Amino acid sequence: MTISLNFATLPSEQFFTARSILIGLPEPLESRLMSLPLTLDRVRSAIMFAELSAKQIETWRASAYLRAALAEFCSIEDVQKVDKPGADHLTLRNSDNPLLHLLTLARHLSIHVKSVKTSRQKVSTSFDNQSFDLDVYIMSDLNAVDLSKLRNGKSYALTDLHKTVEWFSAAQLHWGAGYLIRIGVETFANKLCDHYGL
């Protein structure tokens, strides 16, 4: 069965108006997750690793933090079973958000198949009406063909994988891979809150 993706669920350009310079979960989302302590722990960890990736000087360290962020992101799905035993759990596979699927596939690729190449990118941003340059890291060799060869990758139309990778590749040039992972984590965490009525 081919998984359907809804590209309208991807953040639009208007979404990317400002980048948080703080590491951590937004307080309203953290409050909603308090009744799911293990899930909250994984959400916090994924965001921490994603944000720390951009603060590294050495590329191999940035790669390690990105892999850790992806691993923690995927583990959010599993710890629901401990936080909410016997409940109807929300799965990443049942989401139609392409970003969530890409992050899951990127985790499988980078942990089980190959180290996804990471490189530094300089981006311009502004804070308090002042512009400055910021170093971020991107996943520079992420491609749809590699993802389609994964066991889980066979469930997607190759055209959908190409479209998702193209969106991610363009967005990370402006915001960095870590920030896109953060967006994915917060998106899934909000979906969990809605699913459990938190």
- So where are the chain's domains? 33-196
Residues 6+ apart with CB under 8 A from 53: 62, 63, 65, 66, 69, 137, 176, 177, 178
**pLDDT score of 16:** 62
Q: What is the pLDDT of residues 140-187, one digit of tens each?
A: 888 999 988 988 889 999 999 999 999 999 899 888 899 999 999 999
115 CB neighbour count, 10 Å cutoff:
13
Full-model pTM: 0.90
Nearest to 53 by CA among 118, 151, 137, 174: 137
Q: Where are the alpha helices (DSSP H) in 54-176?
A: 59-83, 98-108, 144-148, 158-175
pLDDT at 20 over 60: no
181 CB neighbour count, 10 Å cutoff:
29
Q: What is the pLDDT of residues 80-119, one digit of tens each?
A: 999 999 889 989 888 999 999 999 999 988 887 777 788 8
Q: Residue 23 has what DSSP assignment?
A: -
Identify the bridge partners of residue 137 per DSSP, sorted by sequence position.
Answer: 120
pLDDT at 22 over 60: no
pLDDT confidence bin for 123, thresholds 50/70/90: confident
